[in-house]
Structure 1
Amino acid sequence: MLFKKLEFKFTWRSYQQNFLNNFLKHIDDNHLHVIAPPGSGKTILGIEIMKQVGKKILVLSPTLTIRNQWEDRLQSFFVNDAQFDDFSFDLNQPKAITFSTYQSLHSFYKKFENKEDYFNYFKKHKIEVLMLDEAHHLKNEWWKCLFELKERDKLTVIALTATPPYDSDPLEVSKYFRLCGTVDDEIAVPDLVKEGDLCPHQDYVFFSEPNDLEINFIADFRGKIADFIDSLSADEEFIKFIECHRFVMHTNNTLDQIYANPEYFSALLIFLKSVGKEIKFELLEILGFNVKDKIDIPVFDLNWASILLQNLLVTDREILEKNESVLHKLEPQVRKINIFDKSKIDLIGDAVLYRSLSNSPSKLKSIVEIIKHEEDLLKDELRAVVLTDYIKKEFLEIENISSINRLGVMPIFHYLRTQVDKSENLAVLTGTVVVIHHSKIELFSLFDTFENYSFIPLISAPEFVFISSKTAVSKLVDTITKMFEHGYITKLIGTKALLGEGWDAPSINTLVLASFVGSFVSSNQMRGRAIRSQRNNLNKTGNIWHLVCIDKTDLKGGKDIETLRRRFDAFVGISKSEKTYIESGIERLELPEKYIDISITDLNTDALNQSELRSDLSMRWKSAILHGTTLSREIKQYYENDKPYNLQKQQKFHDVVKYSFLELGVGLSFFIPEVLIKNLNVLLSKGIISFVYTVLTAFGLAFGYKTYKVLKNYIQFGFIFKNLSKIGEALKESLIEINLITTKKENIFVKTEVLPKGDMIISIKGTNDFESTIFINAIQEIIEPIKTPRYLILKANLFKKEFDIQNFYSVPQIFGDKKKNCAIFEKNWKQYVGESEFIYTRHLEGRKILLKARLMHLSNSFKKTTKKAVIWN
């Protein structure tokens, strides 16, 4: 055996042992894809996998620091006597184990003019396995040389990551999973906390408000957008241009183009409707609507305006060459108000306003308040790290902090040095700028020699020195890290690029994320720095602070809070509520849903008070862990509180059904006695038949329409909860039948639940993580607003047709890709859910019905109607 000298010297944690007991059954298809959070021992598990596979291997990492950690863990955890030396850091001289970086392999790949020589290199040196550490980096250039190799020589691929890049561009996500394969196993955060490999931790959100300048900028931006939209609606030349658009004037001749871009066609019609133009029925007929259908055309809002302008000015520009005079006049208008940049129309202000809010100087004051609070509580035990995106070297020397108008390492440094106690314990650590207090220079010598460095006092803050290194910066990073670990530095400011991934400082107990990057991967990696446990400190807890600048002109708080919500989808953490539970998503923090007329001060005071309860935090984690044994996935379908009874535009059960029956019942309780008394003379003079006719006529006039609406609402929505359960059963049976679920059928059940607010939850129990993920992804495809499925389900029985009710669902891609699988799903759907029509959408009639279904769901096109969550139960 290649690795017979390697033997793990310690005892495996229970979750590690469980993983190792099962991994061989996953790798038999030449793939092993594992999600392992920071602190789970991912590297030593990788070495054990390598040892058990027993073949020559290339281990790839994103940085030199992480590459070196692999060799360090190998020698420290698996070698007893003489050092293991059958390894190499050089791709030109590979050994049994070759440690390298993705960048090095990419450069190595590019130097081969003949790609056959690249493939032959692996054959010549008999390298049969690729170990991909922090595999979430593999989406673009680094991906190519690995995927070609995998496809050509069928190498075994072992992918390790803390967070797959689920929220990246769909093409990038697809490439990632083509290389790494589906997720085979996941190590759960609660298991790590239970075993003591991660410390109890909690996320807190600290809010700030934009300053007057920023508020004026936001108000001015929104005002300009509103004026621009109003001007479009009053521009006769533009309206005439839209009326004469080929999709409107020559619809039947442009069907293929309409079907390829239905949002564009919809935006044209919605605009014309908004300016009072009648929409000819012929335009709606091609979408599959008939005369009896009730069609609610949405409001021409900023989302639809964005779609319209994006197509007119970019996507469709060449074909609209004859109308260039109109577009040439339009383009300067949109550029003038900063909504057209890099061929992208942005009327919402995602880029412009988000840059303003995410980089707001108001967050500097938030950081000061958080650090002061944590230092008051923890005293010398504080180990605080502030991570941000940019250094902002232009603020290295500054006379007055009031001139700072940007977020960055140096602005944060100047704010903290002037406004917190014990500034001598403050330091900066980045790849190019390192700053410590002059009183720490002697302590620096305990870990490193002076000869490779120069210590240059800052002009604006001479008590601090800039450290200039004459050698590799990695040694300096190591020295400052040791000073931090020993408590000579207690407040450290750095960049996420240097410290956000792979940097190991287990003593961190306070982390402030002053980064506006909202991706799953970056956020989870940064957060992972603070949740590691610390040897000889069993009481360690971690507070992670997230900064948000609220846009009070936006009901939901603006883009900064939206980015934070997306970031939290990657975190599994503990709830704030009295009933403690562990779940992914920001809902567990019980933040407000609306941010107009809300006190930011009260929210921050509550967060600061909660953050003091560190000992209570440990107890809450222990309690929550006892209430579960494994992570499972569920999907939540939202009940829209802000627009409660908009029934035609929702595809879920609303409590309005119950209230409508109640209202009808109450009405009748008053109506019947009154009618009986008023028409008693009819009974006495004309007889019982005339009396009954009179009462029924009065009832019809008073309650006929209301009764019709109540019945229609009940038929359309009253059974949706039951339908969701039946849909789950149909899906479960179909997945079992096509062998995507192989767990014993008797151990599996579908669970549905209605929450107090009206949201519905569905999950599958008894399956493994991979099977659960497939089920949840498929359910989401079925119940979300219609996109472009290959097959569509129309559920409308004879009774529903009388009430003009049609429910559309998508057939999930895992069935739609193969006719045989779709037939299996159709059979189970009809058995559990009821008679429905399955429609193939890739021919003319099918595409018409698809567009009709999408138009019926247009109101939900820009909403998040469902949410996946990971829960511990």
Structure 2
Amino acid sequence: WWKALTKVVQSIDGMTVVSLTATPPYDSNNCEWKRYEELCGVIDEEISVPELVKAGTLCPHQDFVWTVVPTEYEKQYLDEYESSVARTLGELSRDEHLQRAIREHAWLTNAPDVTDAIFANPELAIALLVYLKNRQVELPPHLLGILDLQPEDIPDISEYWWQLLVSTYLYKPGGWPEDEELKTHRKKLARILRDRKLIWNRELQLSDARLIKRHITQSSAKIQACVDIYRHEREVRGAGLRQVILTDYIRDEGVRSNKEKQVEMHGAWPIFRELVHSLGDEERRTCALLTGRLVVLHESIAAQLKDEATLRPLEHAPGFVVIDAPARNPVTILTELLEAGTINVLVGTRALLGEGWDAPCINSLVLASNVGSYMLTNQMRGRAIRIDKKNPDKVSSIWHIVAIVLDRKKFGVQPHELFRPGLADFRELNGRFSTFVGVHQTDPIIENNLMRLELPYVGRKRDYISGAEHLALRKSFFRTGWSLESTNNTMIGRLHDIHKMDKHWQEAIGLGDAGQVVPTVSPDSPPTARPFHFGRTLFFFLITAITAFFTAAWVMANISTQIGVIATVAFLWSLPKFYTTAKLFFKHLPVDGTIHQIGLALRDTLCGTGIIDNSAARLKVKSYTVGSDVYVSLDGGTFHEKSVFADCMEEILGPIENPRYLVIRHDTFFGLKRKDYHAVPTRIGVKKEYAKTFHLAWQRYVGKADLLYTRTAET
């Protein structure tokens, strides 16, 4: 598409391109994103969901998560997969060819000119060390030194490290020995793994299998979950409920063949059938099914359509009829019935109702779909969050259903535990929540992560290798013996308080002066420069105070002229230094003081180097605290400039990965040495002069520091 549109734009002289979209493809890869920017330019302005809520264009809303445990059949499938993986890992650990290949890897033999390659892929280097540790082989000091790790820092081996190691061995030969024997072994190993369904399209799946993901995300346990969610919504909203349940598939094979499957599949028809079989006569007549090839209504409602459609009794759902060959679009017909309250719950497919369908009356949306893309997720959420002029007090609930398979005996503390096969659906849910913003469950904050819902079994854990914070399941939660499904009681309680969400949204969006959502950074452990400046401030204060005393004594003729002159010179020398260090100390004194100073240094660098095409005087760094959390953002400029600032701040304040330059803060106070390391952002580190500009700005705002280039053997 980009080639065709680019040619059109280039063929018309003087064309001005104005690009508008409700769903920017934020989750696209870098190559696709560059094509969007080449055609449309960078994003100049974005009107976010909270801004639209504040303006009254969208209604207040909240997300809910309903947790289910997959069926025994699905858990058995997962067990068979894990057994196959365990058998394969046992064979790999005894594979002599693989042992030799790893033993002779260039990174382990201290071959020349491998440092840059290791920096480009440090995780593979760690995987090699993990394997050696598992084999109880001495770890090579040169590789530990390059990675700045100690032997005790190397984690135990797991499926994650096996997958990284073996997939690289099979398909990325750089650094691996290349003799004919190992080439033959690679082909044989790949064939074995394909036969066991552990390789799909040259992608090894020891910890993240597509087939397992499909079974978990499409678990039939979600069918009953939809029924349970409907019951609780009906209890809270009564006849005012306007619910839509969206799925990926119809799954009406049983209706068309007149023979139901023994193993039920998750889809629109199974959900609808379970609803009408579970509800009483009054409620079941308000259920409807709307898909591309199957439209079902209760016969009492469908009777009014007999003159404009063919009605066919539905054997699998007594009292319901199939609408065939309607004179009007069935989507229009059922939308009118939903708006009128004739039907209260409509089950449909994402393909038909997920985008381009306007039904402002919807106040409850159940996403029984495993779609993870930003664009489609936002399109589906848009069905429920539009304002309804007939219901000005509308507050919507958006339900996400997640299936989790967790064997408590196998549940450990691996840093990559989210890659366990039984957590495939949970990982998709986590990715989905990173693509849209919403209000925090308890705090008046707008965020774009799953943490904002305060799920009982979700927490954060620090990776002891990289220092990165990541989402993890709370091990303590499972020690209590509670079932995952018990967390649904928390969701039910929150649903009964859904009317409070309007006030909660107003509190959250009322915090901003302009009512806008901007890219903001909140570090897990905010840096502080106070310890670095306190010692120097105290040192110069003492010198200034002592010399001032002697100067005053000399003026009063209580000491000799020689001592008085020396004291006066020392006083004049120390006074400006005391002023400078004291000023820096007090600038860093607030909780968010150091972050604010780092932000100022970054702003000046981005503007001075031309990375941001704006004047530093027109851009303001904003920092503030909410509870124990510290936030920093850029005020003024375009959305793109704010995003660049936020991305760079995240690199500076986050865990160090693989930067070209480091800023090192160091000081000694009463014999105690302290050092802090911060990465120079990638956008700045691409050029030496950019890095030097950042270093000078850092020293001006933050304090004394050294600039270190990391691409040398010494570092």
Q: Is the 8 A contact 2:110 2:142 kept in 1?
A: no
SS in 1 for 2:58: coil
Residue 280 (structure 1) aligned with residue 145 (structure 2)? no
Change beyond 3 A, Cα 1:293–1:530: closer
The higher relative CO (CA closer than 8 Å, separation ≥ 6) is in 2
Are 1:307 and 2:153 matched, yes or no? no
1:522 aligns with 2:522: no
Report the count of equivalent residues. Answer: 616
- Aligned AA (2:27): D
Deviation at 1:775, TM superposition (A): 1.0
Secondary structure of residue in 2 paired with 1:277: coil
Tell me which residue corresponds to 1:727: 598
Q: Displacement, 1:337? A: 4.5
Q: 1:838 to 1:166 in 2, by over 3 A?
A: farther
Q: 1:363 to 1:512 in 2, by over 3 A?
A: same
Q: Which residues in structure 2 correspond to 1:444-843 (within 5 Å)?
A: 444=305, 450=308, 453-469=309-325, 475-553=329-407, 558-577=423-442, 579-592=443-456, 593=458, 594=474, 596=478, 597-629=481-513, 630=515, 631-638=517-524, 724-738=595-609, 740=612, 742=614, 745=617, 748-751=620-623, 753=625, 756=628, 761-765=631-635, 769-786=639-656, 789=659, 791-795=660-664, 797=666, 809-831=678-700, 832-839=702-709, 841=711
Shift in Å, 1:786:
4.7
Does residue 171 in structure 1 map to residue 24 in structure 2?
A: no
Q: Secondary structure at the match of 1:252?
A: coil
User: 2:596, 2:621 within 8 Å by CA — same for their partners in 1?
Assistant: no
1:161 aligns with 2:21: yes
Give the Cα–Cα distance (whole angstroms) in 1 for the partners of residues 449 and 263 of structure 2.
Answer: 34
The reply to whether residue 198 of structure 1 matches residue 58 of structure 2 is yes
For residues 628 and 260 of structure 1, the distance between their equivalents in structure 2, rounded to whole angstroms, comes to: 40
The alignment status of 1:415 with 2:274, answered yes or no, reads yes
1:288-299 aligned at under 5 Å gives the runs 296-299=153-156
What's the offset of the Cα at 1:394? 1.5
Q: Distance in 2 between matches of 1:804 and 1:754?
A: 32
Q: Structure 1 residues 467, 746: CA separation in 2 closer, same or farther (over 3 Å shift)?
A: closer
Deviation at 1:313, TM superposition (A): 1.6
Match of 2:287 in 1: 426
CA distance in 2, matches of 1:619, 1:719: 31
Structure 2 residue aligned with 1:209: 69
Contact preservation (8 Å) 2:144, 2:150: no
Matched residue of 2:502: which SS?
A: helix
Residue 336 of structure 1 deviates from its aligned partner by 4.9
Please give the secondary structure, in 1, of the residue aligned with 2:500: helix
Identity of aligned residues (%): 32
8 Å CA contact 1:743–1:768 kept in 2: the answer is no
Give secondary structure in 2 for the equivalent of 1:159: coil
Match of 2:466 in 1: none
How has the CA–CA distance of structure 1 residues 271 and 186 changed in structure 2, closer, same or farther, with 3 Å as cutoff? same
CA distance in 1 between counterparts of 2:672 and 2:138 reads 26
Decide whether aligned partners of structure 1 residues 144 and 196 sit closer, same or farther in structure 2, where only a CA change above 3 A counts. same
Compute the displacement of 1:796 (Å).
6.4
Could you tell me how far apart the structure 1 residues matched to 2:486 and 2:119 are?
51
Work out the CA distance in 1 between the residues paired with 2:94 and 2:24: 48
Q: Deviations over 1:222-281 (max 9, x none)?
A: 344344334433334431232123444472276676566554344334322331222333
> What are the ranges of 5 or more consecutive residues in structure 2 without an aligned counterpart?
412-416, 459-473, 532-588
Letter in 1 for 2:501: L
- Give the 3 Å change call, closer, same or farther, for CA 169–833 of structure 1 in structure 2: farther
TM-score (norm 1): 0.63
Say whether the 8 Å CA contact 1:721–1:760 is kept in structure 2.
Answer: yes
Whole-Å separation in 2 of the counterparts to 1:288 and 1:610: 47
Give 1:194 shift: 3.5
Residues 520-556 of structure 1 deviation map (CA, whole Å, 9 limit, x = unaligned):
2211111111011112221222111111112323576
Give the CA deviation at 1:390.
Answer: 1.3
Q: 1:157 to 1:632 in 2, by over 3 A?
A: same
Structure 1 contact 401–414 (Cα < 8 Å) conserved: no
- State the partner residue of 1:218: 78
Q: Which residue of 2 aligns with 1:187?
A: 47
Shift of 1:362: 0.9
Following the alignment from structure 1 to structure 2, what is the Cα–Cα distance between the partners of residues 159 and 568?
26
What secondary structure is seen at the aligned counterpart in 1 of 2:66?
Answer: strand
Provide the C-alpha distance between the structure 2 equivalents of 1:294 and 1:803, rounded to a whole number of angstroms. Answer: 26
**Aligned equivalents of 1:310 and 1:807: distance in 2?**
36
Q: Distance in 1 between matches of 2:9 and 2:683?
A: 24
Matches within 5 A, 1:117-266: 142-151=1-10, 153=12, 155-249=15-109, 251-252=111-112, 261-266=121-126
Q: Secondary structure at the match of 2:398?
A: strand
Which region of structure 1 is more displaced relative to structure 2, 535-544 or 826-835? 826-835
Cα distance in 1 between the residues matched to 2:675 and 2:24: 38
CA distance in structure 2 between the aligned counterparts of 1:203 and 1:226, rounded to whole angstroms = 37
Q: In structure 2, the residue corresponding to 1:544 is in which secondary structure?
A: strand
CA deviations 1:646-679 (Å, max 9, x no partner) are xxxxx978xxx9xxxxxxxxxxxxxxxxxxxxxx
1:316 to 167, 173, 192: 173
> Could you say if the C-alpha distance between residues 245 and 407 of structure 1 is closer, same or farther in structure 2, counting changes exceeding 3 Å?
same
Name the SS for the 2:521 alignment partner. Answer: strand
Q: What TM-score does the superposition give when structure 2 sets the normalisation length?
A: 0.76
CA RMSD of aligned residues (A): 3.7
- Gapped regions of structure 1 (runs ≥ 5): 1-141, 640-650, 658-717, 853-873
Worse-matched range after superposition: 832-841 or 562-571: 832-841
> Partners of 1:403 and 1:288 in 2: how far apart?
54
Q: Check conservation: 2:607, 2:616, Cα contact below 8 A.
A: no
Report deviation, 1:737: 2.5
Q: Take 1:465 and 1:211, find their aligned partners in 2: how far apart are those partners? A: 31
1:340 pairs with one of 174, 183, 199: 199
Kindly state the Cα deviation for residue 598 of structure 1 after the two structures are TM-superposed. Answer: 3.7
What corresponds to 1:66 in structure 2?
none
